[in-house]
Amino acid sequence: MPVSPRSIALQRGVTLLELLVVLALMALVAGLVLPTFGNAVPTSQLKSSARQLATGLRLARSEAVAQKREAMLWLDLEGRRFKVGSDPREYALSPRVDLALFTAQHDIVNEKIGAIRFYPDGGSNGGRITVAAGERKYEVDVDWLTGRVAILD
């Protein structure tokens, strides 16, 4: 049976309609999947917030030792900002990170505001500030005996 040129032409190509359907499906999938990755907090931004807090804690410790009086780092969990000792400035953290504070009960004002206290001898009441975004987190630890500040992965 001879094969006609027309049947060969029909088997070779993809129609414009098929191509448009595939492109529409790809656009739909990209539109649904990409926004879920777009809200992620970059690791550098997460680590930067942890470093800012560690620097603030070290500054509060230095202030306590230098001025021979207690100094505190006040942390506003909801507003994502902190204040160090007698300095009137507030330092803002990334609005896309989540914060948690573990400290002495008498240094917690309410569920949104608390502090870590440093003493003139360099010691502290101790505590931990967790900076998180999804599954990733950094913990900023303050040793109660020495007042040493460390960032843990």
How would residue 134 be classed by pLDDT, with cut points 50, 70 and 90?
A: confident
Reported as a single tens digit per residue, the pLDDT across 78-96 is: 999 999 988 899 999 999 9
Please tell me the predicted confidence (pLDDT) of residue 30.
82
Query: Do 130 and 99 meet the contact criterion of CB atoms below 8 Å apart?
Result: yes
Residue with tokens 């440093």: 118
- Give me the CATH code for the 43-152 domain, please: 3.55.40.10
Question: For residue 43, what are the contacts with CB-CB under 8 A and spacing of at least 6?
Answer: 136
